[in-house]
Amino acid sequence: MVKRQFGHRARLVLSPAAVRAVDDQAHAARTMWNLLHAWWQMMPREKRTLARADAAIRQARQDIGFLAVLPAQAAQAVLKAYFAAWKNCWEGRADTPKFKGRLRTVMSVDIPQGRDLNITRVHRRWGMVNIPKVGRVRFRWTGDLPVGKYANEGNRITGARLIRDVLGWHIAFRVQTLQAPPAPHQGPEVGIDVGITVPIALSDGETHEHGAWLTGKEEAKLLHLEQRAAQRKQHRKPGEPTSRRLHHTYDLIAGLRAKAKRRALDWQHRTTTAIARTYGTVVVEALTITNMVKSARGTADEPGKNVGQKTGLNRSISGEAWGRTVTMLTYKTARLGGTLHKVPAPGTSQRCSACGFTTPGNRESQAVFVCKNPDCGWSGNADHNAARNVLHLYRMGLPLIPAAGRAVVRRAKRVKPATAR
């Protein structure tokens, strides 16, 4: 049996009083982090220990009244997360921990003990969960959870985290299960080419496309809200705080964008699940997306060209979220017994999949590929041609990820800051 850990996120249905209670806990958790950060900077290096920090937050919970709304275990989770952040910084996996501002920080509260949740299913679509110092609340039941008679030592919920976005409060369960290793997937091999006009093109001729994430009325409403926010921002004097009306407009804009993101996530999950179930070996390009979306503005001495067009292209690339698609395919193929491989990306869109002739002139347009080799002359869809080239590179033996199906992330080593310890 193999231990598998994953998360499951569900929407909470809270009363106004419960919303205020959870908001207070989230603000207390953020304040606890900031107090720890200030304590860390003031303390000498030799006194920055976990025991001293634990004593400091216990004293703070006694001296500062509003910190008592945060459960003791949630406060301990903040302490462990802060020390883990410094450890990630020392090992080169993240930057140094910073102060958490009120407006720029995601509101969240950790529930480290799964036994405190006491989850029950009351309806086909609803469940009940216990939130410390809040009480019993409903959540949307969208997936099977190991609760009740299905819970045991190997299959259980180890904890949860409350997270707030522009659409309300959600709960993310941490689930641990024991499963038998999947049998090797006997499906065929497939190459994938990602794009903007055609989001996903497969080497066997299939395509996966989507429409606009917002309806016509929603797009018109979003444009109207953005224009209203720009007008209200013009009337604000330098240094003057943002008005409540402008904040309300920003919240409406964020709500529409969050709705579009949810629809995009749903499409990506459905599409990647269908691909992982159908094909045993999935081959994608090793794209460096951060370099692809760099600005073309240039410098004052050497200004860039076609800056507006490049900005629109960067926005379209970021909207398709190619990296998230590859991440979903990576863990879904491994879960179903398949494998995912990456191959070098240069030349896949300019190479003829029939004869191998490579030249920039082969790409007649965004959608049409015509081979310029006099002895070939093959023509077809450009996206399917690139997908076939991706699969051909894998068959030649050029994968960048081993057959285990897990990506290896390499990060540059960073020098430890002088004041880190």
- My answer on whether 127 and 271 are in the same domain is no
- My answer on whether 132 and 198 are in the same domain is no
End-to-end CA distance of the chain: 41
Give the number of other CB atoms < 10 A from CB of residue 117: 21
- My answer on whether 142 and 207 are in the same domain is no
Please tell me the total count of domains within the chain.
2
Helices 322-335/307-320 angle, 10° precision: 20
Domain boundary among 159, 181, 203: 181
Domain membership flag for residue 3: yes
- My answer on whether 115 and 209 are in the same domain is no
Domain membership flag for residue 252: no
- Cα–Cα distances (Å) from 66 to 24, 29, 69, 132, in that order, read 8, 10, 6, 16
Name the range with the highest mean pLDDT among 112-116, 361-365, 368-372: 112-116
Amino acid at residue number 192: I
pLDDT in tens, 231-272: 988 888 888 888 888 889 998 999 999 999 999 999 999 999
In the numeric block, which tokens belong to residue 288?
A: 């460096």
- My answer on whether 172 and 310 are in the same domain is no
| pLDDT over 80 (residue 367) | no
- My answer on whether 274 and 348 are in the same domain is yes
Percent of the chain with pLDDT over 90: 38
- pLDDT at 346 (0 to 100): 83
In the numeric block, which tokens belong to residue 93?
A: 């996996």
Domain membership flag for residue 118: yes
Domain membership flag for residue 81: yes
Q: Do the beta carbons of residue 60 and residue 32 sit within 8 Å?
A: yes
What's the rounded Cα separation, in Å, for the pair 56 and 35? 9
- pLDDT at 362 (0 to 100): 63
**pLDDT band at residue 407 using 50, 70 and 90 as cut-offs:** very low
Mean pLDDT along residues 99-105: 86
- My answer on whether 292 and 385 are in the same domain is yes
**pLDDT band at residue 178 using 50, 70 and 90 as cut-offs:** confident
- pLDDT at 406 (0 to 100): 41
- pLDDT at 105 (0 to 100): 87
Q: Do the beta carbons of residue 57 and residue 50 sit within 8 Å?
A: no
Helix (H, G, I), strand (E, B) or coil at 172: strand
Mean pLDDT along residues 159-168: 91
| pLDDT over 60 (residue 409) | no
**pLDDT band at residue 361 using 50, 70 and 90 as cut-offs:** low
| pLDDT over 50 (residue 421) | no
**pLDDT band at residue 320 using 50, 70 and 90 as cut-offs:** confident
Backbone angles phi, psi at 107, to 5 degrees: -75, 130
Which residue would you say has higher pLDDT here, 4 or 14? 14
- pLDDT at 144 (0 to 100): 83
pLDDT in tens, 56-66: 888 888 888 88
- Work out whether the CA dihedral 77, 79, 80, 86 comes out positive or negative: positive
| pLDDT over 60 (residue 116) | yes
Edge-to-edge order in the sheet of strand 339-344: 207-208, 200-202, 189-194, 281-286, 339-344
Which residue would you say has higher pLDDT here, 335 or 415? 335
- pLDDT at 416 (0 to 100): 40
- My answer on whether 28 and 53 are in the same domain is yes
Question: By mean pLDDT, which of 170-174, 293-297, 314-318 is the weakest?
Answer: 293-297
The counts of H helices and E strands in the chain are 9, 14
Domain boundary among 157, 181, 205: 181
**pLDDT band at residue 405 using 50, 70 and 90 as cut-offs:** very low
- pLDDT at 21 (0 to 100): 94
The secondary structure of 341-355, three-state, reads EEEECCCCCCECCCC
Q: Which residues pair with 7 in a beta bridge?
A: 174
- My answer on whether 138 and 203 are in the same domain is no
Domain membership flag for residue 245: no
Amino acid at residue number 232: R
The domain of 364 spans 189-214+259-395
Mode of pairing for the β-strands spanning 168-179 and 189-194:
unpaired
Mean pLDDT of the chain: 85
CATH of the domain at 295: 3.30.420
Q: Which residues pair with 6 in a beta bridge?
A: 175
Give the number of other CB atoms < 10 A from CB of residue 300: 6
| pLDDT over 80 (residue 149) | no
Look up residue 134 and give its DSSP letter.
T
Question: By mean pLDDT, which of 215-224, 290-299, 340-349 is the weakest?
Answer: 290-299
- My answer on whether 13 and 75 are in the same domain is yes
- My answer on whether 150 and 196 are in the same domain is no
What's the rounded Cα separation, in Å, for the pair 340 and 189? 10
What's the rounded Cα separation, in Å, for the pair 326 and 10? 24
Percent of the chain with pLDDT over 70: 91
| pLDDT over 80 (residue 148) | no
What's the rounded Cα separation, in Å, for the pair 138 and 15? 10
pLDDT in tens, 285-302: 888 878 777 777 776 666
pLDDT in tens, 27-37: 999 999 999 99
Read off the pTM: 0.79
Give the number of other CB atoms < 10 A from CB of residue 59: 10
Helix (H, G, I), strand (E, B) or coil at 193: strand
Domain membership flag for residue 390: yes
Mean pLDDT along residues 171-188: 89
- My answer on whether 289 and 330 are in the same domain is yes
What's the rounded Cα separation, in Å, for the pair 115 and 158? 8
Query: What count of Cα atoms within 13 Å lies in the side-chain half-sphere of residue 259?
Result: 13
pLDDT in tens, 37-54: 999 999 888 888 889 998
Mode of pairing for the β-strands spanning 368-370 and 189-194:
unpaired
- pLDDT at 365 (0 to 100): 66
- pLDDT at 412 (0 to 100): 34
Domain membership flag for residue 239: no
Helix (H, G, I), strand (E, B) or coil at 150: helix
